[in-house]
Amino acid sequence: MISKITLLGIAIFYASIAFAQHRAPWVVPESAKEKKNLYSPDESSLARGKKSYITECVRCHGKEGKGDGSSAMKIEKTVADLSSDNVQNQTDGELFWKISEGRKPMPLAKTTLTDDQRWDVINYIRTFRKK
């Protein structure tokens, strides 16, 4: 028979793995950071970016990117504030990689948005930068 102590040990073991994953830094490959956004943030790029943002991102990240979308409450992880310096100080290449790959519970966008659409979304989320 498995003792209560053993079960407790197993529970603590899995809880600590979950905790570690939660806190793990989101590492982007060096080569991806250098990738350049070929689309200038002109009116049409921003309009396209906004459209994709509304369909794919707003439910979690919220209208102004603050992480307060309608689904944010249901998520066990804190939804990133896209207007924060932490996000805005990253390169376009870094954001492109993260948005493309996703990280649970954030879905990967490379299957739902084309490369062009993802670059446009990045131009759009740059408009959230705190003034």
* Contact set with ligand HEC (CB under 6 A): 26, 56-57, 59-61, 71, 75, 77, 79-80, 82, 86-87, 95, 98-99, 103, 105-107, 109, 121, 125
Cβ closest to ligand HEC, residue 6 vs residue 21: 21
Which is closer to ligand HEC, CB of 11 or CB of 50? 50
The CA–CA distances, whole Å, from 75 to 2, 48, 61 equal 34, 27, 11
Q: Shortest distance, CB of residue 49 to ligand HEC, whole angstroms?
A: 9
Q: How far apart are CA 38 and CA 70, in angstroms?
A: 32
CB of residue 72 to ligand HEC, shortest distance in Å: 7
- Say how far apart CA 121 and CA 52 lie, in whole Å: 7
The residue (of 9 and 105) whose beta carbon lies closer to ligand HEC is 105
Q: How far is the CB of 45 from ligand HEC (least distance, A)?
A: 14
To the nearest whole angstrom, how small is the minimum distance from the Cβ of residue 110 to ligand HEC?
10
The nearer residue to ligand HEC, 32 or 106, going by C-beta atoms, is: 106
Note whether 119 and 125 are within 8 A (CB): no
Q: Cβ distance 77 to 105 under 8 Å?
A: yes
